[in-house]
Chain A
Amino acid sequence: MFLRNALRAATALTLVAAGSAAADTITIATVNNGDMIRMQGLTDDFTTKTGHEVEWVTLEENVLRQRVTTDISTKGGAFDIMTIGMYETPIWGANGWLVALDNLSEGYDVDDILPAMAGGLSHEGTLYAAPFYGESSMIMYRTDLMEKAGLEMPDAPTWDFIRQAAAAMTDRDAEINGVCLRGKAGWGEGGAFITAMSNSFGARWFDMDWKPQFDTAAWANTLNFYKGMMDESGPAGYATNGFNENLSLFQQGKCGMWIDATVAASFVTNPNDSTVADKVGFALAPDTGLGKRSNWLWAWALAIPAGTQKQDAALQFIEWATSKDYIELVAANEGWANVPPGARTSLYENPNYQAVPFAQMTLDSILSADPNNSTVEPSPYVGVQFAAIPEFAGIATEVSQEFSAAYAGQQTVEEALEKAQALTIDAMEAAGY
């Protein structure tokens, strides 16, 4: 083994000496979302252009996260590019684990990246990951059911309107639920939704002294409103519904409204998969008049772990995959509705893309989310539906498990909040706050 590694290292050295034109094979860890699968399918284009080969490690989100975190924190070097999100990037960047993306080529036009995305993927002004696609969240609703209920969706509704509309659209006999929302445990699932929602109710995770805030009225209001509305108008088993489950419910015409990731818009309007493709309207995520809406901000981005031997090839790949040309390539192959959204300003200035029905609402949603100022009262953390501190993922997963248990009726909202407060205090102490 040692010998083989030594040989490999020697070969690598010779190759480097021979000039940077040498072909490398880079290993990329990525999530199994549709846009990434599409990228895998188009890898040949990259190989033709640069000569570098690509090995894909495609994993589902939770496994991917656990896999890349282990590797980067132990400096394992198993991957040359990692697909990470807005949560990991600033933390890892601050630790010096990622290669700064500060010398991207002229033609890449780094200033074209949407400022909200670039901001969330930077640490102290330095970009550490390039967004492959970005998203916010918004309301997707059935125009036909809304009309039937005799209501009209405003562009920027309140939660009270949503609840009222949900009740009016619900028809249990026809298996139509007024509103479908995530309730599934996990910080990136129901945890993300309820945190974004709580922002609009004036709640926050921590006060300026990093004291957990689950004992506040704002959190109780958030949870009670959510549970009340979902019990009235939500689908059966909403406590275990995540993005996938709701997507498929909506596509089959079983939801009146769905508030979720903006990228879902292309799935629900795709007539191949969706039975309601031509009856979907869009609106901004709701608020309660306190000045913050309940939409989040997220990006799946590509980053290079510090210490990789194949930094040049990795950088070339990132420039390829997040470029304007890549967007053109997907548009040519699969149509404009299927290009990776939310990453570049120029995309939203492109008349071809402006014709896509959800383009403008997606952009408006993204622009209205501010990770640096996400809560009504001031908070010490960066992030809309998360707090960018290393402990958050663990804490929020446990907190969301308590919430899900409350949704399922196994405990009361008060009990869930009490437990959430206790376990957050405990975890924050363990982390040394």
Chain B
Amino acid sequence: MARAVTQQRKIINTTAAWAVGLLIFFPILWTILTSFKTEAQAIADPPVFLAFDWTLENYGVVMERSNYGRFLWNSIIIAGGSTILGIIIAVPAAWSMAFVPSKRTKDILLWMLSTKMLPAVGVLYPIYLLFIKLGLLDTKIGLMIVLMLINLPIIVWMLYTYFKEIPGEILEAARMDGATLREEVIHILTPMAIPGIASTLLLNVILAWNEAFWTLNLTAAKAAPLTAFIASYSSPEGLFYAKLSAASTMAIAPILILGWFSQKQLVSGLTFGAVK
């Protein structure tokens, strides 16, 4: 009897969850489907869902028009580079906050977060002038630095909450054994914190990949990532929904796939100290 009830409940749960999941995913699915239609089918009335002539034409046009490979490569380097830079700077900071807290630790953390609230557009001119002076305009390294700075507060906070959950006794023991601070961080702490670092890394890659203000405004041809790629397909002359969809799919596919494959790692560490 009880078994039947749970079985029944499981069916209801499954149906509801899948319905909601598909609803949330639908806009992406629709974009992917549209990217395989002809332009006429893309705006057909009534809309066609699956029964259309699948074509790769739009992808062909986009590939011919834009140097997709370079945009993709730039996105990978910039997102990856800024994340690695950020982790290198954030790990020691988060470590010291977690294990040698002072009265001001909390203030510093919240202050770091508050730097993210500066409206980016207000400082475009100052930053642009600075970039010209430093020769960083349209360089990948320049964008890596900016994106690292933008996301650093989030990285520090995530790592901090993760480190805090590591019991201090282990470190004490290591110290008793005569481990230096360096050894302590590299050999004991970091391995224990790998899941947290992995999750932080992933979240950061996503945030950096999707950042669309600085990546668009500080680049020209050489360092432009996928956000600039998509800006060349929005509102052309005429409504090219199918081509727009193809370009959109190409812009989000890499990060979507990465996200899906690593969602376990991402989710496991994505707590921001919310779980005690």
Contacts and interface: CB of A to CB of B under 8 A. Distances in A.
**A/B touching: CB–CB < 8 A:** yes
Interface of A: 1-2, 5, 27, 29, 32-34, 37, 40-41, 55-61, 63, 66-67, 70-71, 74-79, 242-245, 247-248, 251-252, 263, 267, 273
Given A33-B237, A247-B238, 17 more contacts: A1-B134, A32-B232, A41-B64, A41-B65, A59-B228, A60-B231, A63-B216, A66-B217, A67-B216, A70-B125, A74-B129, A74-B132, A78-B137, A248-B238, A252-B43, A263-B237, A273-B39
A33 B236 contact: yes
Bin chain B's interface residue count.
Answer: 20 to 34
B37 to A, nearest CB: 15
B138 A78 contact: yes
B221 interface: yes
B177 to A, nearest CB: 43
Interface string B233-247: 111111100000000
Contacts of A263: 237
Central interface residue in B129, B136, B216, B236, by most chain A CB within 10 Å: B236
A59 B232 CA distance: 4
Contacts, number: 93
A88 to B, nearest CB: 18
B132 A76 contact: yes
Contacts of B41: none
Contact of A77 (B132, B228, B232, B236): B132
Given A1-B136, A58-B66, A27 B220 contact: yes
B128 A70 contact: yes
Tell me what chain B mostly uses at the interface: helix, strand, loop, or mixed.
loop
A244 B232 contact: no
A78 B220 contact: yes
A40 B65 contact: yes
Nearest to B224: A57
Interface in B202-225: 216-217, 220-222, 224
B194 interface: no
* Closest 8 pairs between A and B when the two form their complex, measured CB to CB: A55-B221, A58-B232, A78-B220, A248-B239, A5-B135, A32-B236, A60-B234, A27-B221
B141 interface: yes
7 contacts: A1-B135, A32-B233, A58-B232, A59-B231, A71-B220, A244-B238, A247-B239
B129 A79 contact: no
Contacts of A273: 39, 238
A32 B232 CA distance: 6
